[in-house]
Structure 1
Amino acid sequence: MWSDNETTTDFLNYQVHCNLLEEYLSNPNLLPLTVGVFGDWGSGKSSVIRMLENKFSENPKILSIYFNSWLFENYEDAKISLLENIILELSKDASLGEKGKAKVLQLLSRVDYLKLASDGIKKYGKNIVDIIATGGVGTAIEAGFSMLREKTVEDLKEADISKLNEYIKSEQENQAKTTVKSFREDFSALLELTEYDSVVVFIDDLDRCLPERVVDTLEAIKLFISVEKMAFIIGADERIVRHAIASRYKLHEYQNNAAYLKDSEQIVTDYIEKLIQIPYRIPKLSPSEIESYTNLLFCQHHLDKEAFGAIVESFSTFRENDFYSAYSMGHIGSLIDISERVDLVRLLSISHPMSLMIANVLKGNPRQIKRFLNTFILRKKLANVARIVIDDFVLIKLMLLEYFDLKLFNKVREAQSEDGIAKELGLLENAYIDETPDAIAVIDKMVEWQSQNFKNWIKLDPRLGEEDLRNYFWLSRDKADSTLSDSHMVSPSVQIAYKGLMSEKKSEREVTARSIILETNELAALLGLLQRDILQNPGKTKYALESFHNIALQRNQREIYFNYIDAIESAPYALVKDIPAIVDRLLTIVEKEKSLAERVNNLIQSYAEQTGKLAISAKQSLKEQ
């Protein structure tokens, strides 16, 4: 099994990316500079950042600071946390003299002020009043409010305690305009007093934070944009950063106006471009890179430290001379004797065809590949313990379907006959692989099986139409109903979309549905969460149905319309009886997809025979037909 954490051991040839980014970040003529290392969840952003951090930590003239945004998620102010971290790291410079140390204290005092200004009168006003009332102004200053000027302190001694809030508010207004400029000047002066040529700040896991924390961190970075010698590397999913900016500035407020939405998108783009000078996007892995990656993972799992170290060194040399070929079993076998390592040989022998199978479905995502392999290894071990004979390629193919479309995976499971044969698969193989006219005619109405992703999947070897699948579904029974049923199991981009779709604000639900940018497998995960809520969470059924409908209209894909009707049909009437809008939504879907007319009419007829608001709406609709 393999850890899901970032690593500095390079299995992906990410050293190429690090070398390029190092060239930019080490060039004094380009500083100050902000680089965005962008990529999907699990693409390897954190590994690139850790590798870069290691590179810079070896240079005594460069101060390397690592800041994990997510670890500070629960702190009151992400901006202050970042500023304090940078200042405190600079204060550790052994060459810093008394003047430098004084500058550190001065900067921390300014951060003190920023903290008060950020938290505002509402939070601290009464607290300061209480402190002064019991302990005097001196106590308040000792408690951390040293940003108040000496004259202000003198005024406070004579002030009416009840008017203290007005003094603090006035002080904030007087200093707010100059604090940022003063901070930059003082920070630049501190840098000049150190022996560092540059300061490189790595900000990781930004896309795991709540939107307000994301923007607070970006605002902190803006304080350093014009400070010489400063460089920032931000690791994040660009989609989540864009969502956070739009949310912070309320650009997602619903407007049924295409021009407004376009302008809002441009505002977000402008914000990012002004802050991040170099956006660097981590590319998805190719099939040969996936094969190399899986081979290295298999070797890591089965070899001792010394043998594996030799493999890693060999791979690095190989990749320097060949960017395109896979580091295969032949390369590994020429370096060490693997003839006696039966389990390793078996895994290496399936690596090439497996990499071709998973390249499209897993979108070349290292984390998803690692999780997939962990599950694969676990199920193989379970099969051995249970003395079940399985074909690795059949298992892998079924797991791919389970991954990208749990609903169809369960349909195949349910379609098995007593002998474990799923006849629908044979029919679909005849239609999509052999292109048999009779089979094509039969599946024309089987819309749920007609997505391009499923067509690509069924064409993968091996064919399953005549395969006994009972053992394979027995191995996967622990996940058949839960693989994508929990929101914490999906990527952050899906979590954010799900949160927006289930918001109590109608405008946020509608805008989220219209602005979703997800890969096919991510969309399947999102729809899976909505289907779960429709069936299992009475308090969320209304929002889940509404959001499913909005997504169906926004995507305008035939299979999603059919999935939407499936979801409504499967919902117990008790959960939907007070949602009269369902009737109008059903009729809207029929306008888009005429082949659903009969199913929709049957649904409306059945509703009309019940009681409740939905029944009334259904009866009214039938009268108007």
Structure 2
Amino acid sequence: MWHDNETTVDYLNFGVVADACASLLKRTNGEPISIGVSGGWGAGKSSLVKMIAARLNDAAEPGKNTYVVVTFNPWLYQDFEGARSALLQLVGDEVLLRAAKDEKLLAKAKRLMQRINLLRLAQMGGEAAATIITGVPVGVVGRAISKVGGLFSSADAEEFEGDTGKEGIESDKVSTLLRPAEPVSLPSEIQAFRDALEELLEELKITLVVFVDDLDRCLPKTAISTLESIRLLLFLKRSAFVIAADNEFIRGAVRVHFEGTGITSDIATNYFDKLIQVPLHVPRLGVNEAKAYLALLLLERANADGDFDDDKFEQAMKAVPERLQRSWRGDAVTTDFLQSLVGVDDAKLVALMDLAEGLAPLLTQSSAVNANPRLMKRFLNTVFLRSALAEPQGIALDIPALAKWHLIERCDETLANALAAMVTSASDGRVDPLREAEEAARTAGNLPEPFKEDSFTREWLQLQPSLGEVDLRPLLHLSRDTATRDFGADNMTTEGRALRDALMVATNANGPLTQAIQAAGPTQAEMAMTRAWQLKAPRRTWRQGEDVIPLVEPCKVFPELGAKAGSLLYQAPLNKVGPGIIPSLFAQAWARPIIIQWIESPKLDRRAKNAIQQAEKRGR
């Protein structure tokens, strides 16, 4: 299974963007900067941010500048602590840690922490804020925090300690407890905090880089609170902010925050833009990138399973990004390129590369996935989970078949439900309309109901393997709820099914096939003959003798099946019939009248007509 965590392993060619962003941060030379990394949920923002951080960690210049990377995730603090307080505390703790080795700087860092505590208390509102702003301890909370916050002298604090449990204190005692510099000016405190932090960063020779991640997972209130707290730290020298968030989400959060004020979309956009100097969009994946991403995920799995050795996997991880970097000049991720990663002789891995190539365009154009890396990863997780569930239940299904079925479930639920309903009513789990649709998609014919005429459906139908000839009940058993597992009755016996499968692969008459027909008996043989004839339709060329084996051989053993075989043969597309099938058919009494009628049809190829005439002459 693939974990849904951010990573510095680059499967998406994000390294180029991470290099550019890290270079931009380095070139600021201590000047403040804010960068917004925008992209939808699951687009790879967190991974891109982590790659940028890794590059900064390697860029330290001892004695001149060290990048101190602090990652803040407001989603973790939601409902537990105000995001603003948490961010200030995180920054203060990091500076305190960096100053620990220098006594003078440590003292400054502790004073900075006092200012942070003061601002955090002011944010609490109510009695705490009133006490801090006025200098008068208001209520029990106000009296308790006043001593802790340092608003009083140590001597007065001791006297005050005995009163903390009272409901109030006398006004004359208040006047003796307050410091001379009584009320606190919050604007002054905020500026003093900024000045102190800026001074400490310069003396410590560090550039503080704060990565704000998962902002678009937060409730609007938390998101706005985080953005407001960022304003306290923005545009200080030796500071940088990289904020990862979906722009659409931020605009929505701003509208919720200012609901009722008539805020316009332009104002909501400007709110975020004022915080961001450099907007950076996570590159959207195209077919090329999606193909490369799926291929590397599948190779990673093969490597973990021991099917793809470490050296080849390392080579693939290097070759794929290099290929993507050159895609602008036409070096696409082609079939040949993917197969070169694994070697054309490894059928199992070649099949996985073919799967990546087939899935990529469909997962890119589907609005349900839209080439989203997280959704593609989840897609493969589901497919491999079902594969793991199949084996203990005695179900033999390969990964491409599971992937094709899950693709239609994920991207066109209406069609998936329609096909599932057909499976439940089919006697053997095979769906004739699906078989016909796959054939029509290959030959550019019209698609039958319930298939829609669109590019996605046609490409899905052409994706290998074909499912029209497959018993789909195992796929539904693994993927659908119990309601869709109420499959229709299958009137075929074990011998009948065995004969059906034998007729589908037979290329000539042989002893084992004759024995299978005899073992099935006439009733089951008729069912097997009919079903095998239907299932082989997509592969039937109408030009070789083996094409009519499913009709000819059962009728040799049980002549009474000739009427049914004749009705099936009567539907032959005469414009496709070649001379190769004529001799074996003309030898069958049940087929001869039908073939003689064919000769009158203008659709029949002249060579086929000649073959019929020659067969008639030999039969006289």
- TM-score, normalisation: structure 1: 0.63
* Preserved CA contact (<8 Å) 2:387 2:398: no
Q: The residue matched to 2:204 in structure 1 has which SS? A: coil
Structure 1 residue aligned with 2:374, among 367, 388, 393?
Answer: 367
* Preserved CA contact (<8 Å) 1:53 1:66: no
Partner residue of 1:268? 268
Alignment of 1:259-298 (within 5 A): 260=262, 263-298=263-298
CA distance in 2, matches of 1:479, 1:460: 29
Find out whether 1:476 has 2:486 as its counterpart.
no
Find out whether 1:71 has 2:80 as its counterpart.
no
Q: The residue matched to 1:28 in structure 2 has which SS? A: coil
Question: Taking structure 1 as reference, are residues 155 and 225 closer, same or farther at Cα in structure 2, changes over 3 Å only?
Answer: farther
* Preserved CA contact (<8 Å) 1:110 1:147: no
Structure 1 residue 272, shift from structure 2 partner: 0.7
Opposite residue 221 of structure 1, the aligned amino acid is I
What are the ranges of 5 or more consecutive residues in structure 1 without an aligned counterpart?
Answer: 254-259, 482-625
Alignment of 1:203-352 (within 5 A): 203-250=212-259, 260=262, 263-303=263-303, 304-322=309-327, 325=331, 339=345, 343-352=348-357
Structure 1 residue 408, shift from structure 2 partner: 4.1
CA distance in 2, matches of 1:123, 1:429: 71
Q: The residue matched to 2:116 in structure 1 has which SS? A: helix
Q: Deviation per CA, 1:502-542, whole angstroms, max 9, x where unpaired?
A: xxxxxxxxxxxxxxxxxxxxxxxxxxxxxxxxxxxxxxxxx
Structure 1 residue 149, shift from structure 2 partner: 8.3
Question: Taking structure 1 as reference, are residues 320 and 464 closer, same or farther at Cα in structure 2, changes over 3 Å only?
Answer: closer
Percentage identity across paired residues of the two chains: 30
Find out whether 1:185 has 2:195 as its counterpart.
yes
Find out whether 1:161 has 2:169 as its counterpart.
yes
Q: The residue matched to 2:193 in structure 1 has which SS? A: helix
Q: Deviation per CA, 1:173-215, whole angstroms, max 9, x where unpaired?
A: 852232222221221121221112x221111111122221111
Structure 1 residue 88, shift from structure 2 partner: 1.9
CA distance in 1, matches of 2:156, 2:437: 80
Find out whether 1:412 has 2:415 as its counterpart.
no
CA distance in 1, matches of 2:444, 2:349: 38
Question: Taking structure 1 as reference, are residues 460 and 177 closer, same or farther at Cα in structure 2, changes over 3 Å only?
Answer: farther
Structure 1 residue 368, shift from structure 2 partner: 0.8
* Preserved CA contact (<8 Å) 1:383 1:389: yes
Larger Rg: 2
Q: Which has the higher contact order (CA 8 A, sep 6+)?
A: 1
Find out whether 1:47 has 2:47 as its counterpart.
yes
Question: Taking structure 1 as reference, are residues 152 and 423 closer, same or farther at Cα in structure 2, changes over 3 Å only?
Answer: farther
Q: The residue matched to 1:397 in structure 2 has which SS? A: helix
Partner residue of 1:397? 404
Q: Deviation per CA, 1:554-599, whole angstroms, max 9, x where unpaired?
A: xxxxxxxxxxxxxxxxxxxxxxxxxxxxxxxxxxxxxxxxxxxxxx
CA distance in 1, matches of 2:415, 2:30: 52
Which 10-residue stretch deviates more, 88-97 or 101-110? 88-97
* Preserved CA contact (<8 Å) 2:39 2:281: yes
CA distance in 1, matches of 2:182, 2:256: 27
Alignment of 1:115-126 (within 5 A): 115-121=120-126
Partner residue of 1:88? 93
Opposite residue 214 of structure 1, the aligned amino acid is A
* Preserved CA contact (<8 Å) 1:96 1:194: no
CA RMSD of aligned residues (A): 4.2
Partner residue of 2:35? 35
Question: Taking structure 1 as reference, are residues 298 and 333 closer, same or farther at Cα in structure 2, changes over 3 Å only?
Answer: same
Structure 1 residue aligned with 2:384, among 377, 381, 401?
Answer: 377
Structure 1 residue 108, shift from structure 2 partner: 1.2
Question: Taking structure 1 as reference, are residues 480 and 405 closer, same or farther at Cα in structure 2, changes over 3 Å only?
Answer: farther
Q: The residue matched to 1:193 in structure 2 has which SS? A: helix
* Preserved CA contact (<8 Å) 1:36 1:233: yes
Structure 1 residue 472, shift from structure 2 partner: 2.0
What are the ranges of 5 or more consecutive residues in structure 2 without an aligned counterpart?
Answer: 132-136, 304-308, 485-620
Partner residue of 1:112? 117
Which 10-residue stretch deviates more, 93-102 or 236-245? 93-102
Partner residue of 1:145? 149
Q: The residue matched to 2:249 in structure 1 has which SS? A: helix
CA distance in 1, matches of 2:340, 2:438: 40
Opposite residue 26 of structure 1, the aligned amino acid is K
Structure 1 residue 161, shift from structure 2 partner: 2.0
Q: The residue matched to 2:360 in structure 1 has which SS? A: helix
Opposite residue 192 of structure 1, the aligned amino acid is E
Q: The residue matched to 1:234 in structure 2 has which SS? A: strand
CA distance in 1, matches of 2:159, 2:266: 48
Q: Deviation per CA, 1:283-315, whole angstroms, max 9, x where unpaired?
A: 221222122112211222222545433432344
Q: Deviation per CA, 1:83-133, whole angstroms, max 9, x where unpaired?
A: 12112212233686444222212221111111111111257889974479x
* Preserved CA contact (<8 Å) 1:11 1:296: yes
Q: Deviation per CA, 1:19-52, whole angstroms, max 9, x where unpaired?
A: 1211222222693221111111111111111111
Question: Taking structure 1 as reference, are residues 336 and 344 closer, same or farther at Cα in structure 2, changes over 3 Å only?
Answer: closer
Partner residue of 1:103? 108
CA distance in 2, matches of 1:24, 1:366: 26
CA distance in 2, matches of 1:31, 1:274: 17
Partner residue of 1:614? none
